[in-house]
Structure 1
Amino acid sequence: MTGDVPAGTRLNYLHSRNLLAPPPSKEQNPMRRSHSHVAHAVLAPVLLSAAACGGDGGSAARGLDSPDVTISPATDTLYAVGVLDGADWEMFGRVADVAFDADGTLLILDSDAGHVVVIDPAGAFVRTISNKGEGPGELRFPASLIVFRDGRIGVRDMGNRGIALFDREGEFLEDVGIDPEGAVPSGRLRAMPDHSLIAPARQISFSPEGTMDREEGRPITRFRLDGSTDLFHAAWAPPPRETRTDEAETGNIRIQMEAGEAFPLPLALGVLSDGRVAIADSVGYRVKLLDAAGGLVSTLERPVPPVAVTPAIAEAERERRLASLESGGGGGGGGIMTLSITAAAGARGGGNPMDSEGMREALRRMREDQIRDLAFPEEMPVITNLAVDWSDRIWVQRSALPGETGTIDILSADGRYFGSLPTDGLRIPRAFGPGGLLAYVERDDLDIQRVLVVRLMADERLEGAP
């Protein structure tokens, strides 16, 4: 990952993903294996069923103050890709991201192989884009995908500190740099209709001694393809709290990790087709709708109160995180982490510097200490995640007690409530596509990573709901 680095050079990387956690295990199947061909109640105006917390079972579109109404959308499994033994393209190393383009073509980013696998709407292999390397159009440490409205494909490359742009046929166009001394994305980059990108971001600096210092607040930043940036929206932020920064060194690598907080405030966002942006950034059930310039347009709220964090809840969360760490997971993640690499003269590097056993063990020890000293808020935020599908429906993931799964509500931007998905049913996918397409990354019974594509059978009928 370091490439040819002059002696004494230090490279600082901001990591937003959980570097300790392995890819999703088969026990963490996001579909909850509920995508069988059993005739579930369909997510549509006439066939919607009411259950759980009540509801009259009438119109599919209710007000936001409606009691919870459970819906179980029927899905049709279209195809799955990813095998133990097959062609090189389908033996995935690590699926870092997936995305759909406007005609339903699936893009799969394999970060280990350093390429993007292209699958047509029928599930057939088309091509791969790019390869692992350090030359123009090659990928060193690819992390996520971006699909633009004009068909261009972007790959955020942590190794090259920027975004590699390709046309729809896979031809390399250009590299767009992200200034490491400026705002650095700390979440997934999402494309706007004007081809700019937005993401939560941090601006981090270092003292002469190498200690980490960052600006307060929770900005969402707009990144343009000419390399310029500006503030898109300042998300709500609580008063600053005292934090501890832990350090560890192994070989020529030094890491600093800011101690995290259990049940952190969400900062989740999704882009609607007209350029509006839905974000969740507060303790209560509140989804803000912003215009394409980042100004507040409206707010969607439901009467779901936050849960007070009791000593029993805090202890259960510590135990859950320690158990995750013990089993090889990430222990729930931490706060902001930076990585510094000091290269010796003539040193060359490749791949992910976090892959060394020494680094992983140092991270694991650091995470264990932080879990034992974990800070807890007074209340758990109601919302933990948010996503927008291609029909502009807003999927809102609600929080749950440690070890449990939260309910997902489906809303419209104009204040309609379609219902809530059961906790053992459909989950927010890794990627939404046109016409009700959903892509999930999972592991099969042989522990082989694969991408599963399904379709909501009643997608168009729901879009026409009154």
Structure 2
Amino acid sequence: MFRQAGIFKSGVVAGLLPPLPRVAAGVAVLAFATAATPAGAQDRPLAADFTEVYRAGGAGAPDWALFTRAGPAGFDGSGNLYVLDTAAPQVVVIGPDGQAIMVVGRAGDGPGEFDFPEGLVVWRDGHFAVLDAGHNAMHIFAADGWFQRMVRWSDRPGSPLSLFAQVGRVMRPDPIGNGIFAQGALDAMGDLLGAFDELAGAAPDSPAGVDERGVELIDLSGDVAAATPIVQGGRAPRRQPVDRITADDLRNNASLADAASAPMFFDPGFHWDILPDRTIAYADSSAYLIWLWRDRSVRGVVQRPIQPEAVDDDIRSAMIEWEIRRLQRNSQQMNAATDDPELRAAMAVWDESRRERVENREFFGEVSVIRAIRATWDGALWVQRRGEDPWDDQGPIDVFGHDREYLGTFPAGTTEMPLAFGPDGLAAFWEFDELDVPSIVVKRLPPAVR
């Protein structure tokens, strides 16, 4: 077991003893950072002077560019951008000149028609897939937009590949194949689906694959998707273990609410992306440490001497206050949407219960440094750090080149993390006008940060 200030992880950085493909919960070790930040952590500022190539959407846009919702997007190898409008529902394909090439899909129950589209994956050769919760399947389309086939997730509700467990998962196209690299389903989601099976009198499936702190490769070659575990990250240690969700919890709203609010404040989470050679870059701890994993072994690490901040009483109080304010804003919006006095009374009771759970929620001992990882089309890494406040995920973005050397940092507020990276330095971003109408903007990055 490896221990280093501020992190928990199986393996050793110096000497690179590789982590196991799966790290069991409860075996991690936590140590607090005490050293001052070394001078080597000084940021080298980068200018976010990206050239705008085109934008689509906003007021006065043509019909095809009237996006109703800011959905997922991806580039193909020709620089075409595919945008999923989940509310329309349709996929809009935009050429490198900013003009529409085609619009694919519509609402319906037939093959290639969308019921509840939720995710989009675009491969380099131009074929693409839409994750459809309503159809419990992936729609596979050829590069010319013609529907090819549907690949079902397991129809069994308790299965780890049940569609309900896929919603919200981060998915990336295999850069050299036709599968999908996907973050595992939430551990609690697997429990919940199993509990529903138990409530219905069916024997739940045994847990398999990886949880939300791991990555698996999903094979779409058959009629039903099949997953192969690739790597499982570590899980932050807790003072008290979290109870598994059972059928009894489904009968008790309070118990179910407790289970749903189980995550710790400042849990490091799991951040990842896949590089063009199939290397998975991932971080699973509070430290600035990114593992490069391929072919069941560690191929290297990316790190900077930036230490996580220890959580003290002031941070705890500020975090609780911030979370309660966030819940209050959400409640006010929900109250404004209904005139039903009974519903408002029920929401008031629910609000009080949520406030109590927030005040009693467990804290991880440190504020993690890394908040997002993205790989560019050519294999550079962009790593987003925390912002000034502990809960701020929109901090500076560090850039590492193909050789994993640190190139510099985009200061906080100068650029967002791109929605998608494409060939020849293309990058896509969502922007919103004063009425929150979305436009997708494609810019070209300087060669040094691609």
The verdict on a shared fold, with TM-score over 0.5 as the criterion, is yes
1:136 aligns with 2:94: no
Map 1:255-270; keep pairs closer than 5 Å. 257-270=260-273
SS in 2 for 1:121: coil
SS in 2 for 1:395: strand
- Aligned length, in residue pairs: 370
Higher helix share: 2
Query: For residue 173 of structure 1, what is the aligned residue in structure 2?
Result: 148
SS in 1 for 2:321: helix
What per-residue deviation string (whole Å, max 9, x for no partner) do you get for residues 279-315 of structure 1? 1112211111111x34321111211111111122122
Residue ranges of structure 2 left out of the alignment (5+ in a row): 1-36, 334-342
Query: For residue 409 of structure 2, what is the aligned residue in structure 1?
Result: 420
Instruction: Check the 8 A contact 1:243/1:258 in 2, yes or no.
Output: no
Task: Give 1:329 shift.
Answer: 8.9
What per-residue deviation string (whole Å, max 9, x for no partner) do you get for residues 389-441 of structure 1? 11211011112324644221111353300011101211211111112212111
1:187 aligns with 2:169: yes
Query: For residue 379 of structure 1, what is the aligned residue in structure 2?
Result: 366
Query: What amino acid does structure 2 have at the position aligned with 1:297?
Result: R
Instruction: Check the 8 A contact 2:76/2:125 in 1, yes or no.
Output: no
1:206 aligns with 2:194: yes
Query: For residue 286 of structure 1, what is the aligned residue in structure 2?
Result: 289
Task: Give 1:153 shift.
Answer: 0.6
d(CA) in 2 for partners of 1:283 and 1:256?
A: 24
Partner of residue 443 from structure 1, selected from 412, 432, 440: 432
d(CA) in 2 for partners of 1:308 and 1:86?
A: 48
d(CA) in 2 for partners of 1:330 and 1:285?
A: 38
Task: Give 1:195 shift.
Answer: 1.8
Instruction: Check the 8 A contact 2:231/2:296 in 1, yes or no.
Output: yes
Query: What amino acid does structure 2 have at the position aligned with 1:442?
Result: E
Task: Give 1:89 shift.
Answer: 2.6
Instruction: Check the 8 A contact 1:260/1:370 in 2, yes or no.
Output: no
Provide the TM-score with structure 1 as the length reference: 0.71
Query: For residue 406 of structure 1, what is the aligned residue in structure 2?
Result: 395
SS in 1 for 2:292: strand
Instruction: Check the 8 A contact 1:248/1:255 in 2, yes or no.
Output: no
d(CA) in 2 for partners of 1:92 and 1:363?
A: 37
- Which moves more between the two structures, 102-111 or 219-228? 219-228
Measured at CA, do residues 237 and 256 of structure 1 come closer, stay the same or move farther in structure 2, by a change above 3 Å? closer
Provide the TM-score with structure 2 as the length reference: 0.73
Instruction: Check the 8 A contact 2:52/2:443 in 1, yes or no.
Output: yes
d(CA) in 2 for partners of 1:264 and 1:454?
A: 33
Measured at CA, do residues 397 and 86 of structure 1 come closer, stay the same or move farther in structure 2, by a change above 3 Å? closer
Measured at CA, do residues 258 and 289 of structure 1 come closer, stay the same or move farther in structure 2, by a change above 3 Å? same
Q: Which has the higher contact order (CA 8 A, sep 6+)?
A: 1
Query: For residue 47 of structure 1, what is the aligned residue in structure 2?
Result: none
Higher strand share: 1
Query: What amino acid does structure 1 have at the position aligned with 2:182?
Result: A
Task: Give 1:188 shift.
Answer: 1.3
Map 1:300-319; keep pairs closer than 5 Å. 300-319=302-321
Instruction: Check the 8 A contact 1:247/1:255 in 2, yes or no.
Output: no
d(CA) in 2 for partners of 1:182 and 1:445?
A: 42
Query: For residue 298 of structure 1, what is the aligned residue in structure 2?
Result: 300
Query: For residue 9 of structure 2, what is the aligned residue in structure 1?
Result: none
d(CA) in 1 for partners of 2:122 and 2:259?
A: 33
Instruction: State the superposition RMSD in angstroms.
Output: 3.4
d(CA) in 2 for partners of 1:189 and 1:91?
A: 25
SS in 2 for 1:324: helix
d(CA) in 2 for partners of 1:210 and 1:255?
A: 22
Measured at CA, do residues 402 and 283 of structure 1 come closer, stay the same or move farther in structure 2, by a change above 3 Å? closer
Measured at CA, do residues 229 and 403 of structure 1 come closer, stay the same or move farther in structure 2, by a change above 3 Å? closer
Residue ranges of structure 1 left out of the alignment (5+ in a row): 1-52, 56-64, 332-356
d(CA) in 2 for partners of 1:132 and 1:248?
A: 35
Measured at CA, do residues 274 and 361 of structure 1 come closer, stay the same or move farther in structure 2, by a change above 3 Å? farther
**Segments ≥4 residues shifted beyond 6 Å:** 210-216, 244-250
Map 1:347-366; keep pairs closer than 5 Å. 365=351
Query: For residue 220 of structure 1, what is the aligned residue in structure 2?
Result: 215
Task: Give 1:326 shift.
Answer: 3.0
Partner of residue 229 from structure 1, selected from 227, 232, 252: 227
d(CA) in 2 for partners of 1:302 and 1:197?
A: 30
What per-residue deviation string (whole Å, max 9, x for no partner) do you get for residues 72-123 of structure 1? 1311122222234554432222122111111211111111111111111111
